[in-house]
Amino acid sequence: MSQRPKILITNDDGISAPGIIYLSKLASAFGDIIVVAPDKPQSGMGHAITINSTIRIQKTNYHQSKIEYSCSGTPVDCVKMAVNHILDQKPDLILSGINHGSNSSINVIYSGTMSAAIEGALEGTPSIGFSLCDYSLEADFSQAEQLINQIISNALTHKMPKGICLNVNIPNINSSQLKGIKVVRQTKGNWVERFEERQDPYGRNYYWLTGEFVNFETEAVDTDEWALANGFISIVPTQADLTAHQTIKQLKYFEV
């Protein structure tokens, strides 16, 4: 039997997206890959799971992996399905992505890519979500290949803290402009959103969500947005615990 690490790969752009095909190709150099990914795009699903309808899986052949399935569910469903049903043992590493578009700052809470990585951490497996700051289907993932390989290698070599996954964002620049990797914190930012009202051919109104990202910390030099703007790949250690620990004592007046 193979003693190579078992690496589970998923995403939120769909099992045939260029980003996941590229990631599985890189990961295959480090271990035996297992691919379980959505059968269609699932961007913006966050940590959604399927509870009111069926989940179906189907064998595919996009990644030249012995174990490879498309799943009708969400990215989190894919991780749950792989760990609790398809595999007979937990993987050594879970990789999610490479996402087409940034998941820095507040985007992490909406991201299906990162929710899959967070679910992996909840399952007790070292997990990484990769995103490239380029939404194009023709995005060039190869510019950061050397550093992506370095991140995967380090994750397999060094013991990551339990319950923690990595949110890795890659700036959309060529390899000669990449300066390296920075481990940083999540930028405080938000989306200023609006709904565009339009009409269908029958005169009925429908709405399209749009908006702009606003960085509230433009002067900070220890954030993911700063790292990306200055030519670095950003790594933000991320966890599922949303407790605002620093405010527990301040809110003791609620206790009776």
pLDDT of the residue at 177: 96
Mean pLDDT of the chain: 96
pLDDT of the residue at 182: 98
Q: What percent of the chain has pLDDT over 90?
A: 96
Superfamily classification of domain 6-187+219-254: Survival protein SurE-like phosphatase/nucleotidase (3.40.1210.10)
Q: Kind of pairing, strands 232-239 and 164-170?
A: antiparallel
Please, which pLDDT band fits residue 239 given cuts at 50, 70 and 90? very high
Give tens-digit pLDDT for 98-157.
999 999 999 999 999 999 999 999 999 999 999 999 998 889 999 999 999 999 999 999
Please give the model's pTM, rounded to 2 decimal places.
Answer: 0.94
- Across 42-46, average pLDDT: 92
In this structure, what are the phi and psi dihedrals at residue 239, rounded to the nearest 5 degrees? Answer: -140, 165
Report how far apart, in Å, the C-alpha atoms of 175 and of each of 45, 111, 144, 172 are: 31, 26, 6, 10
By CB atoms closer than 10 A (0-12, 13-18, 19+), residue 3 is exposed
Report how far apart, in Å, the C-alpha atoms of 234 and of each of 37, 52, 186, 192, 251 are: 24, 37, 9, 23, 34
Q: What is the DSSP letter of 8?
A: E
What lies within 8 Å, CB to CB, of 237 at 6+ separation is 161, 164, 165, 166, 167, 183
pLDDT of the residue at 2: 57
Residue that is written with structure tokens 């700051």 in the block = 133
- Across 75-94, average pLDDT: 97
Amino acid (one-letter) located at 7: I
Instruction: Map residue 85 onto helix, strand or coil.
Output: helix
Indicate whether 1 pLDDT > 80: no
pLDDT of the residue at 195: 96
- Across 200-214, average pLDDT: 95
What are the boundaries of each domain within the chain? 6-187+219-254
pLDDT of the residue at 3: 87
Indicate whether 27 pLDDT > 90: yes
Indicate whether 203 pLDDT > 90: yes
- Across 83-99, average pLDDT: 97
